């Protein structure tokens, strides 16, 4: 779904996967399907916030 949203969006949406799967194959699948970050639950709020800030800072680069 993320890949499709990226294709249809005029801007550059960014996606973070929040999942219970931490295996390398799951991480690869996330990347392949359009997620830029793969976080495994449970996720600390500060960790999620850091990733949102990082992705936001990269917009336009």
Query: Is pLDDT above 80 for 28?
Result: yes
Read off the pLDDT of residues 29-61 as tens digits, 9 standing for 90 and up.
Answer: 999 988 999 999 999 999 999 999 999 887 655
In terms of Cα–Cα distance, which of 27, 55, 22 is closest to 40? 22
Query: Is pLDDT above 90 for 8?
Result: no
Given a contact cutoff of 8 angstroms between Cβ atoms, the answer to whether 21 and 39 are in contact is no
pLDDT given at position 22: 98
Given a contact cutoff of 8 angstroms between Cβ atoms, the answer to whether 38 and 27 are in contact is yes
Tell me the C-alpha distance between 11 and 26, whole Å: 26
pLDDT given at position 61: 52
In terms of Cα–Cα distance, which of 2, 6, 56, 9 is closest to 19? 2
φ/ψ of 3, rounded to 5, equals -60, -40
Q: Which is more confidently placed, 56 or 25?
A: 25
């Amino acid at each position: 779904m993320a890949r499709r949203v990226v294709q249809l969006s005029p801007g550059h949406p960014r996606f973070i996967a929040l999942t219970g799967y931490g295996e390398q194959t799951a991480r690869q699948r996330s990347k392949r399907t359009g997620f830029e970050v793969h976080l495994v639950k449970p996720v600390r709020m500060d960790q999620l916030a850091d990733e949102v800030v990082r992705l936001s800072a990269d917009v336009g680069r």
